[in-house]
A and B are shown apart, each in its own frame.
Chain A
Amino acid sequence: MIKIQNISVNLDAFKTNYSLNVDNGEWIGIIGQSGSGKSTLLNLIAGFIYAESGSIRINSIEINSIHPSERPVSCLFQENNLFPHLSVYENIAIGISPSLKLNAGEKKQIQDTLDYLNLSDKSNSDIGILSGGERQRVAIGRIVLSNKNILLLDEPFSQLDPNLRIEMLNLIRKIRDEKQLTIIMVLHTPIEAINYVDRFIQIKNGRINRSIKPTEYSLEIS
């Protein structure tokens, strides 16, 4: 369980104050206007920003002062998820060995992940020749390998076309079901996620405004 209590950090326009509980295996969609502090919440959980006050606990362990790499958290960003000088294979390999020194078992794991994501034929390809969807699949491959049970998604599919976005959400759901992941996802088009998330959290001026069930949200917009 993720337990966030009065986490605050000073942004240019305002000071945030988040309090939120997320159950294990839950899928949360974060909605709100641009600049409201959605990505800041993810950055705080991932450890890319350190909180000035408050606490974040994951399964009762305080993680505020823990380095991002030691938190049980994986991230998928909108862009720049991949290193352009490395191949598809190497980008996925970072998930288990950033030094890229791999033993036989790790190589097998990477090959299995490539097969799972239908990327086997692109294994040695340069990142530059991949489509937007393929790039995000490579980044997902790295996340799958890293074996962390919390996944933070920061508008990861907003640059893809609508059909591909749905395809990616289905892939994430499949992985979540298999690996029992907890997901917190910042959304660009909330309506597309209605069938996937367990609830929406609305953020306004750096504070959690309210929690909405997907059914309520679809009623509101209709």
Chain B
Amino acid sequence: MRKYNWLIPGLLASFLILVIITVSLFGIIKYSSFKLILEIINDRYIQSIIYFTIYQSLISCFLSILIALPLALTIQKYLKYRLVKIVLSLAWLSFISPVIIGVFAIIKLHGISGWISDVSLFVIGEKLEYIYGLNGILIAHIFFNVPFALRMILGSLNTIPNELWRVAIQNNLNRWQLFKILEWPAIRNNILITSAIIFCLCFTSFVVVLILGGGPKYSIIEVAIYYALKIEFNIDRAVALGIIQIVLASVLALLIISFTKNYRIEPYIKINLKIPNIQSNNYKILTYDIFIILVGIAVFLLPIIALIVSCLKVSNFYSLIGNTGLLNSLYWTIILGFSSGILSVLLSIMLLMTLKILILKYKIKWLAVMIELSGNLILILPPILLATGIFLSLRNIFNIQQIAPYVIIGINCLTTIPFSIRILGSDYIRISSIYSRLFDAYNIRGISRVLKYEIPMMRSSIATSLAISITLSMGDLGVISLFGSTDIRTLPLYIYQSLGSYRMDNAAEGILLLLILTTSIIFIAEQIFGEKK
């Protein structure tokens, strides 16, 4: 029996994950019938939501790439400047920070009381109202996804050998020829992958659409599930929408897994392009570069500046201490975020402990795939749907308010497991294969091997995955909005409720705390527990 001890951690983690998923699916299936689904699919409103979900994802994806591509090609020449690097880091930070922070930044810039509206009042005498609806959704998606696309494209450009750049410069290739012969072949494949990821992110962009959609007309499937449950209390509709979401998300998950299986997305920006100086003394090229950089500034620098300014305006920091609602939200954000983040990394390590032996020693691919799949199931089961299923399953058995913290921790933990497995997996397998002979030679095995050798050697990737899991969990608005209450409220929910009742100052206070909390976690993970030199 001792011979199979290595199977225990992986099977135990899979079991825990599958229990949560099964309970959720049970709730969904219990309330669904084929007839009901057919009826609801034929409902015009549902059809329009499916159409809008796909439509806004496509447009967001197209516009993000359209802006990121010329920006990447231009910005690569100026990466040697410190300011450019700082702006890129800020933009990347906005991608990995809780979405609600970015949405708040967008509202501060583009909202009815935002900077642009103020300028328009001054210039044309009236305020501009364009932020709610498709416009706002597209602006926010561009803000979030351009930095990501930029990073992916710059990463591809980095693979072009130095010598080829020199050959191109020696042969006096013009800008178009440089793009066609040198740059496009390097970025072509990555553009497809980046587009697929952006499409998926927009497809499941709950927070952006909930806040900026402005109501049921501009809604995606996940938000429609939320409206059906929370506002209309129409369980049939929520279940039907959930099933539609599972089908569409399964197709998307298959696409994204097949596209990204050989790619590792680095969590922090460390771009060191080797591109030599390309002469920019041509007047036309310089004008073009300035124009493109201005577009970039408009897309992601202005919202960040607006965010920083509004946080600085929270002048009386001590007044935060007296705001018990805010402090209660801070407490729950920390408790729920850390619990689900730590649980997520723990379950991921347990899965990997078994996966590693299946892959490296026994080469049993099908069992390895099954265990990995249990961790990645969440990709086809969006958190709001999982929460809906659990709500439906347990509402007649338990007092939902009492078990809410555990449900929130469980679902947010599952949501972040695919990220943790991605970040930890390659490092764990690498360390295991490099040191396997030493481990065998000195009989280092079992839990002592994991605790004394493998985990200390993985401290950098563990810190990264912990930081990402915790910040993602802290930023959740979907699950907390279903299970939250006046007693259990996190900062994102506090901010959302403040925005909903136009208490912008309260929202700014919440944003400031959330920003400090999440950036501190990311900073500590990178600087203190990061790669040991």
Contacts and interface: CB of A to CB of B under 8 A. Distances in A.
Bound pair: A and B?
Answer: yes
Interface of A: 43, 46-48, 67-70, 73-75, 77, 80-81, 83-86, 94-95, 98-100, 126, 128, 146
Given A75-B437, A77-B437, A128-B533, A84 B442 contact: no
A85 B459 contact: yes
Contacts of B533: 128
B453 A83 contact: yes
9 contacts: A47-B440, A68-B437, A68-B443, A74-B441, A80-B438, A81-B438, A84-B457, A98-B442, A128-B533
Given A80-B435, A85-B459, A99-B448, A67 B532 contact: no
A48 B440 contact: yes
A73 to B, nearest CB: 8
Chain B interface mostly: helix
State the 6 A-B residue pairs at the shortest beta-carbon distance, nearest first: A69-B443, A85-B456, A68-B440, A98-B444, A98-B442, A80-B434
Given A68-B440, A98-B448, A99-B448, 7 more contacts: A48-B436, A69-B441, A74-B441, A84-B457, A85-B456, A85-B532, A98-B444
B437 to A, nearest CB: 5
Contacts of B440: 47-48, 67-69
B361 to A, nearest CB: 11
Contact of A83 (B443, B448, B457): B457
Given A83-B435, A100-B452, A128-B533, A68 B457 contact: no
A165 B442 CA distance: 26
Contact of B443 (A77, A98, A126): A98
A48 B453 contact: no
Contacts, number: 53
Interface in B410-452: 434-438, 440-444, 448, 452
Contact of A46 (B434, B437, B443): B437
A69 B457 contact: no
B441 A68 contact: yes
B392 to A, nearest CB: 47
A128 B532 contact: yes
A67 B441 CA distance: 8
Nearest to B437: A48
A65 to B, nearest CB: 14
A126 B533 CA distance: 10
A69 B437 CA distance: 10
B437 A85 contact: no
Interface string B496-533: 00000000000000000000000000000000000011
Contacts of B457: 83-85
A128 B531 CA distance: 12
Interface in B252-308: none
Contacts of A75: 437, 441
Q: Which of B434, B438, B448, B532 has the most CB of A within 10 A?
A: B438
Contacts of B443: 67-70, 98
Interface in B447-505: 448, 452-453, 456-457, 459
Given A48-B437, A77-B437, A85-B459, A95 B442 contact: yes
B350 to A, nearest CB: 21
A47 B443 CA distance: 12
A146 B441 CA distance: 10
Nearest to B448: A99
A124 B250 CA distance: 53
B442 A69 contact: yes
Nearest to A74: B441
Contacts of B438: 80-81, 83
Contacts of B435: 80, 83
Contacts of B434: 80
Given A83-B435, A83-B453, A85-B457, A46 B441 contact: yes
A69 B435 CA distance: 14
Contacts of A81: 438
A85 B442 CA distance: 17
B448 to A, nearest CB: 6
A127 to B, nearest CB: 10
